[in-house]
Amino acid sequence: MAAGGGAARRCWRSGAGLAGAVRGICGSGRATAAVRAEELAERLRKSEEQQREIPKDPTQRWLRELAAMSQQLQQVHPNVLAKILKQRTLYQNEEIVVIDKPYGLPVHGGPGIKNCIADVLPILAKMLENMKAEPLHLCHRLDKETTGVMVLARSKEAAEKIRLLFKTRQVEKIYWAIVLGDPDPVEGVVEIPIVEKEVQSHQSHYKMTLAPNYRLCPEDGKVMRIRGNRHAERAVTRYRRLAAASACSLLELQPITGVKHQIRVHLAYGLGCPILGDHKYSHWSKLAPQKLPEHTLRRLKLEQSKARHLPLHLHAHRLCLPLGQPLDFVCKLPLFFQKTLRKLELDIPKD
C-alpha cells in the first residue's frame, strides 16, 4: 500500500501524472489511487499465502521440503548448524570425527554462502569435547549437494596424515548414485582424464569435462592415441550396476582418483548416464534443467517443468580408513534418496 500511495502523492506534486500503466491512478484522484494500492497489497498477500501453502501433491511437497531444508541451513545461527552436525556424528575417537553430511550444505564458503561446514568446525569441536577443544580440521570435501560419510580430524597432525592417505589412494570410497539410462557395459572402469573448460554460450560458465588421450581415426575407425591436454588430471572411476528400472539405474561407484566432480563427469560424459538431478552435467553448452524420460517422469509423478527442483542423487555410502586398523564407516541413504528408489522401483541390494 505504501508503494501505491507514494506513487499517487508524486503524481499530485508533479501535476502532470505518470506515463503508461499508472496514468489512470493520477487522473482519477487520491481515492482511486488508494483503492488500486489496496488491490495491489491484497494480490501480494494472496501470492505470499499461495507460496506458503503446502502442496497437496506428495511429490511437490517432497521437493519443496528439500528446498526449504537447504535454505534453512543457510539461515540458521552457526551454533544451531554445529548442533545439527553434532546430532549427525557417526563416530569419534582421539584422532577423528565422522559425520553424516546433510544435503545442500557446502563444505567451504564462497559468494552467496552464509553457512558452511568449515566455518562451524571450532564450535562443533567444543560441543563434542569441551570449551578448550582445538578446532576440527577438514580432511577431504564433498559437493554441496552430495550427502554421506565425511571425515574430520581433531588435530593438524591427524588431518595431514589422513589427507596423505587420500592423496596416495589408500582410502576406499564407495558412492551410490541414481542415474538416467543403463550403462553399457553394466560394470567396468572409466579411465579418462578430466580438465576444466569455459563453456561459450549466451551464459558463459565453467565446467569440468573429459580430455581423452585417444580418438577414432576417421579413415579406418581404429583407436589412435593423441597428445594429452597438459592441464588435464588423471581420473579413474570403477562402477557397477546394482539395479535398473523406470529408465534409470542404481550404481555403486568407487573413485580411485579424486578429481573435482569426477563421478558426475565420468557418468554424464563417459557413460552417457548423468546422475538424476545433476542439472549442471546433463548438458554441455547450456545451463538448463535436466531432461527426464517420460517413463521416469510418470514414476516420479513429476512434470518436466518441475524437474529443475530434483536434487542430486549422489551419496557417499561407505568409507574405509586405514588408521592403524581399518575403520569402516557406512552411512544410510537420506530419506529423499530412499523415496526416489521406491518411486522408481529400484530395489536396494540386500548385501
- What is the set of active-site residues? 143
C-alpha triplet 84, 260, 335: angle, nearest 5° = 35
Closest among 127, 46, 126 to 87, alpha carbons compared: 127
Closest among 4, 35, 163 to 96, alpha carbons compared: 163
Strands 223-225 and 137-138, by their bridges, are unpaired
Q: How many CA atoms lie within 13 A of 3 on its CB side?
A: 5
Closest among 172, 155, 157 to 258, alpha carbons compared: 172
Torsions phi, psi of 34, nearest 5? -65, -40
Closest among 62, 56, 57 to 310, alpha carbons compared: 62
The identity of residue 202, as a single letter, is H
129 Cβ partners below 8 Å, 6+ apart? none
- Give, rounded to a whole angstrom, the gap between the first and last alpha carbons of the chain: 62
Q: How far apart are CA 232 and CA 212, in angstroms?
A: 9
Cβ atoms of 150 and 142 within 8 Å: the answer is: yes
